[in-house]
Chains A and B, each alone.
Chain A
Amino acid sequence: MTKPMGNTLTAIALAAVAFGTVAAADEAADLVINGDQEMVIRTAAPEHLSDVLDEINSGWLYRKDETQLLQMDDFDNPGMIFVDLAQDAWNAVDGSEEKSCASCHDNVEDTMKGVRAVYPKWNETAGEVRTLAHQINDCRENQMGAEKWKYTGGKMTAMEALISVQSRGMPVDVAIDGPAQSTWEQGKEMYYSRTGQLELSCANCHEENFGNMIRADHLSQGQINGFPVYRLKNAKLNNAHARFKGCVRDTRAETYKPGSPDFVALELYVASRGNGLSVEAPSVRN
């Protein structure tokens, strides 16, 4: 579905004006973590998006100063305690095979570097696109003989955060062609479909109105480079499907199940809209 250039320019112009009027957000700010890890928080839109957006940017930019600060130091970032907890889980033996993640994957810093940046991705053996959470549960069930974790539960989001941190600063780079293409197309269609009693599509807010206020919230582009995200609202880590579920529910539609093929497709598409931004996880947002 193509959009006339006019709508996009209007949206961007509105966004520029809106930024100027929102007192505490500094759109020129840069995100450097721990004083030395520079994040790419704004960059040229990836090719598949260049007909509707010139620039993609991180949700970090849309938050107030105090919230932005929370992400700039790993001892201010409340999401990092869950990375610590997951590090313990990484080393803990669990399941009938008497293995821990470390038994096969050694040190997480070495073996998981770059992994998060390319997920969701096509799994040849499984014959489907898989998310990180699916892969974690696959390993647990089939390699460790351990119980699967709840898709949006604390143990899963903490492990996602531990693995994501190993890709922090690397550009998001999910494949949208080859065997993943049909899943990607499905996700794209969902993104642009109006749904629910409120008849809103993801694009209505996150492509046509980023930079504007929705009630008291500053709308971002809805990028997921920062997921799993520590939300101030519920004071815990949240992964993409948990957030999607809420977003769809907020359009007053029947929402989808985390882990479902619908959300896998949507996650692949939304991730691809952020191709080029740095993996920021665990990020801190509203």
Chain B
Amino acid sequence: MASGVKPRVKVPKTAAAGDAITIKSLISHKMESGQRKDKEGNLIPRSIINRFTVEFNGKSVLDMAMEPAISTNPYVQFEALVPEAGDFVFTWYDDDGSVYDTTKSIAIG
């Protein structure tokens, strides 16, 4: 589990049923590309977040495959439909097998 990996997601607290909302997401992660070399000239192995998924009440909003060209501290902004109250679950999958996630609830109002 890489250290200092923390998600940061903005979801409005409420929305009207059927609204489209903008979600901004970021996770602190080095995204070691596998292109860099260390002081001895050896390649530093790739270690990145390779997949980011967003689900709402179990249904898919976004499933994104990431490659090393995604910048450090991957940021993704997208739009989601809010048919009803519920939970957005954001999940990031790390090359090293770790899985990071955070949940944001939204109410109808």
A residues sitting closer than 8 Å to B (CB atoms) are 73, 75-76, 78, 80-82, 84-85, 88, 154, 235-236
Contacts and interface: CB of A to CB of B under 8 A. Distances in A.
A235 B71 contact: yes
Contacts of B72: 235-236
B26 A75 contact: yes
Interface stretch (B2-10, B37-45, B82-90): B2-10
B10 A85 contact: no
B26 A78 contact: yes
Given A75-B26, A76-B24, A78-B26, A84 B8 contact: yes
Interface of B: 4, 6, 8-10, 24, 26-28, 71-73, 75
B8 A81 contact: yes
A85 B29 CA distance: 12
Nearest to B26: A81
B8 A75 contact: yes
B105 to A, nearest CB: 17
Contact of A80 (B4, B8, B71): B8
Contact of B73 (A73, A88, A235): A235
Contacts of B4: 85, 154
A75 B28 contact: no
Contacts of A80: 8
B7 to A, nearest CB: 8
Given A154-B4, A235-B71, A235-B73, A82 B28 contact: yes
CB-based closest 7 A-B pairs:
A235-B72, A75-B10, A75-B24, A81-B28, A81-B8, A78-B73, A85-B6
A81 B6 contact: yes
A84 B71 CA distance: 19
A76 B9 CA distance: 10
A78 B8 CA distance: 10
Contacts of A73: 24
A81 B4 CA distance: 10
A257 B28 CA distance: 28
A82 to B, nearest CB: 7
Given A75-B26, A76-B75, A235-B71, 19 more contacts: A73-B24, A75-B8, A75-B9, A75-B10, A78-B26, A78-B75, A80-B8, A81-B8, A81-B26, A81-B28, A81-B73, A82-B28, A84-B6, A84-B8, A85-B4, A85-B28, A88-B6, A154-B4, A235-B73
